[in-house]
Amino acid sequence: MELNEIIRECLGGRQEAWETLMNMYAKRVFNMAYQFCGSRQEAEDLTQEIFLKLYHSLAKFDFQRNFTAWLLALTKNYLIDEYRRTKWEKTQRDEFDERVLSQTSLVGPEESLDRGETRAIIWEGLNNLSTEMRMAVILRDLQGKSYDEMAEILGLPLGTVKSRVNRARLALAEVLKDKKGVLS
Amino acid sequence: MTCERFEELLSAHLEGELGPAEKLEMDAHAAACAACGRLLSLFRETHEALTGFPEVEPSPELMARLHAIPQKKAFFRPAFDFLLRPDLQPVFAALSVFFIALSFVFLMPQGNGIRKALDRQLHLGYGQVEKLYAKAGSVTDELGSLKNTVVDSFKTLTPAKDQGKKR
């Protein structure tokens, strides 16, 4: 079934259509929330709130627009607003999950350990970024969005988006330099 | 190439967006400047770590909660849905302001003073209105007497004219 058709059926109150929409987007929104706030429990609550918001605003969706970009813009706005309201940057991010290491099995154990350590530092370092920079790097590197899609989601000119991503990566590279300097 | 320019172009370099000349220039700078060479390698490592984060599966409990959103909403809808209409928002805002003002008057210890001041202002206003009303009454009377004078003077003028015509 086409996406617009699914949305129309959701608006008509069909439960199956809503479940299809959830199955299509829940994982993406949950991961974006998790990467942004760093806490799994928090991300679950945020995801629920975001889909509640979607449920209320679905009637306002303009069918000429790209639904994915529209939903991710709604997610981005909600996450940043909630962050500013509750200031959860003061809280710790969840410890980086070591099981993730098993997914990089093509490299040797020593290299794998080093990569795991780097990922843990970067994961922690995301909290050092401003909301705008964090969102930019999440969309680009963790969600794999193109710069054009990002410009639509963030509502910014292409040049601004590119420079924001570059600055975010630079800030994380600095964190990595500092932490690795301390560790070595 | 300056170190600042090198930093600005790092993402473009990593994503293969640079032209051959600029790419060569960056590689030459990275080879010549130890700090920038180290930064390039850290930048690569950071990018690799970021793109390597795997996606996490949402829990079945969360999925169940998400699926249940329309049912929950449908349960509350008949009774409360009209309250969520956007055109009622100004009414709610006005009511909030009104109740906050009311709470200042009735709940605060200085409420007595506020009430007295309000009473005084109300009485003053009432007095002003009464004075204005009395003034308006006297003006009406004056206008009435003026009208009578004018009418009388016309009446006295008209017979004199008639007599002149007869002659």
Instruction: State whether the Cα torsion A80-A83-A84-A89 is positive or negative.
Output: negative
Residues of chain A with CATH 1.10.1740.10: 3-89
**Residue ranges per domain, chain B?**
3-51, 107-160
| Amino acid making up residue B35 | A
- DSSP-derived secondary structure letter, A156: -
As assigned by CATH, the class of the A104-183 domain is mainly alpha
How many angstroms from the chain centroid is the CA of residue B1? Answer: 49
By the CB < 8 Å criterion, does B79 face chain A? Answer: no
Cβ neighbours around A147 below 10 Å, total: 17
Task: Say which of B11, B66, B69 has its CB closest to residue A169.
Answer: B11
- Which residue in B has a C-alpha nearest to residue A119's C-alpha? B49
Instruction: Indicate the pTM of the whole model.
Output: 0.67
**Span A3-89: which CATH code?**
1.10.1740.10
Question: What is the C-alpha to C-alpha distance for residues B50 and B158, in angstroms, rounded to an integer?
Answer: 108
pLDDT tens, chain A, 184 aa long: 688 899 898 888 888 999 999 999 999 999 999 988 888 888 999 999 999 999 988 888 888 888 999 999 999 999 999 888 876 655 667 766 654 434 444 455 555 567 778 888 888 888 888 889 999 999 999 888 999 999 999 999 999 999 999 999 999 999 998 887 654 5
**Burial track A105-137 (b if 16+ CB lie within 10 A, e otherwise):** eeeeeeebeebbbbbbbbbbbbbebeebbbbbb
Residues of chain A with CATH 1.10.10.10: 104-183
Spatial neighbors of A129 by CB under 8 A, at least 6 apart, are A137, A168, A171, A172
Question: What is the C-alpha to C-alpha distance for residues A59 and A54, in angstroms, rounded to an integer?
Answer: 9
Three-class SS of residue A3? helix
**Chain A residues 31-60 within an 8 A CB cutoff of chain B:** 31, 34-35, 40, 44, 47-48, 51-52, 55-56
Long-range contacts of A98-106 (CB under 8 A, 24+ apart): A100/B53, A100/B54, A103/B54, A104/B52
With tokens 């390698």, the residue in question is B41
Whether residues A169 and B66 touch (CB distance < 8 A) is answered with no
